[in-house]
Amino acid sequence: MSLLATRDLTVRFGGHVAVDAVTCSFEPGTLTAIVGPNGAGKTTYFNLISGQLRASAGSVTLGGRDLSRLPASERTRAGLGRAFQLTNLFPRLSVLENVRLAVQASREGRHRRGLNLWSVWSDHGALRARADEVLAAVALRDKEEELVANLPHGDQRKLEVALLMALEPQVFMFDEPTAGMNAAEAPVILDLIRRLKQDRSKTILLVEHKMDVVRELADRIIVLHNGALVADGKPAEVIALPIVQEAYLGVAAKEAA
Ligand SMILES: Nc1ncnc2c1ncn2[C@@H]1O[C@H](COP(=O)(O)OP(=O)(O)OP(=O)(O)O)[C@@H](O)[C@H]1O
């Protein structure tokens, strides 16, 4: 069964249709790259799936459940994971504290229960262990005591990914995860996505401008253009399309007009 699906998903801003009746489904065990020219609607499509934006029409379903009317927080609880915007986090808390809160939120979401001091106490070690694991995965353990507000940009982006991992979602949504990272930082994140791919139960969506990254990681590529889904297929076939060549490699293409 396909895990995540959008059907005729549409959003209009005034007269402008930013996402235009996109019908597409995403299977577990597959990394789908979403590509297209600037302004094509990629981030807006993500916003509609994650619930940051309410659709004008169409639906979003996860495992057959209709999420279309749910706010972003409920969709996260249902299993849709998107990298946090750090502005929504706790800049005056340390890196470790932020990750520990995310681990805790995800575990409480799964096993809701009343206040039980014994379990709070015995969970403490498990939470710490999981937080350490997540921080190690993004190479941030040596910065765990730093205040988030003081982190350089590349480390903040790593922390976004760490928090996403801590939630253990079924669907991972990455929107240009290495943007603004230096040459040493980007491979840490790409390696982590590579490892996530090995877990065949996870569905991964990646908006990415760097074609070398797309070529290496994607099992499938979909192309958005003027908000509409215009291509969907295996990476080699899709990359060869004139519209992709035009958008990413600067090759003139009549089809892009
Ligand atoms: N909240 C909004 N209000 C009005 N227009 C919007 C809003 N959000 C996005 N748009 C418009 O929708 C279109 C799609 O934008 P979007 O950011 O999704 O494109 P994108 O493919 O992610 O582009 P890029 O690759 O440059 O990030 C653009 O024309 C953008 O200006």
Closest CA to 223 of 204, 202, 241: 241
- Written in H, E and C, the secondary structure of 141-159 is HHHCCCEHHHCCHHHHHHH
Element containing residue 80 per DSSP (H, E): strand 80-82
- At position 208, the amino acid (one-letter code) is E
User: Which atom belonging to ligand 1 lies closest to the Cα atom of 53?
Assistant: 1
Average pLDDT, stretch 213-234?
Answer: 95
Q: Give pLDDT, residue 2.
A: 55
Q: Would the CB of 54 count as within 6 Å of ligand 1?
A: no
Closest CA to 5 of 50, 62, 48: 62
Share of the chain above pLDDT 70, in %: 88
C-alpha 74 – ligand 1 centre gap (Å)? 24
Q: Give pLDDT, residue 8.
A: 98
C-alpha 111 – ligand 1 centre gap (Å)? 38
C-alpha 38 – ligand 1 centre gap (Å)? 8
User: Which atom belonging to ligand 1 lies closest to the Cα atom of 46?
Assistant: 18
Topology, domain 1-79+171-257: Rossmann fold (3.40.50)
The closest residue, in CA terms, to atom 11 on ligand 1 is: 18
φ, ψ of residue 159 in degrees (nearest 5): -65, -35
ipTM of the complex: 0.96
Q: Would the CB of 226 count as within 6 Å of ligand 1?
A: no
C-alpha 44 – ligand 1 centre gap (Å)? 6
Q: Would the CB of 154 count as within 6 Å of ligand 1?
A: no
Pocket test for ligand 1, best of 13, 49, 226 (most atoms within 8 A of CB): 13
Q: Give pLDDT, residue 254.
A: 44
pLDDT, greater one: 101 or 113: 101
Q: Give pLDDT, residue 249.
A: 64
- Asked, colleague to colleague, whether 1-79+171-257 and 87-168 share their fold, the answer is yes
Architecture of domain 87-168: 3-Layer(aba) Sandwich (3.40)
174 pLDDT higher than 60: yes
The closest residue, in CA terms, to atom 8 on ligand 1 is: 44
Q: Would the CB of 44 count as within 6 Å of ligand 1?
A: yes
Q: Cα(204)–Cα(191) distance, rounded to whole angstroms?
A: 14
Q: Give pLDDT, residue 113.
A: 53
Q: Would the CB of 42 count as within 6 Å of ligand 1?
A: yes
Q: Would the CB of 38 count as within 6 Å of ligand 1?
A: yes
C-alpha 45 – ligand 1 centre gap (Å)? 9
C-alpha 109 – ligand 1 centre gap (Å)? 32
CA neighbours closer than 13 Å in the CB half-sphere of residue 91: 10
162 torsion bin: left (phi>0), alpha (psi -120 to 50), beta (else): alpha
φ, ψ of residue 150 in degrees (nearest 5): -95, 0
Average pLDDT, stretch 170-190?
Answer: 89
Average pLDDT, stretch 213-230?
Answer: 95
Q: Cα(128)–Cα(118) distance, rounded to whole angstroms?
A: 16
C-alpha 53 – ligand 1 centre gap (Å)? 12
- At position 99, the amino acid (one-letter code) is V
Q: Give pLDDT, residue 207.
A: 95
Paired tokens of 8:
């005729």
Q: Would the CB of 40 count as within 6 Å of ligand 1?
A: yes
188 pLDDT higher than 90: no
φ, ψ of residue 82 in degrees (nearest 5): -130, 145
Domain boundaries, given as residue ranges, for the chain: 1-79+171-257, 87-168
Q: Cα(55)–Cα(10) distance, rounded to whole angstroms?
A: 6
Average pLDDT, the chain: 87
All residues at 6 or more sequence positions from 225 whose CB lies less than 8 Å from its CB, including other chains: 36, 37, 40, 243, 256
For residues 90 and 148, is the Cβ–Cβ distance under 8 A? yes
Q: What is the dihedral of CA 41, 46, 49, 53, to 10 degrees?
A: -70
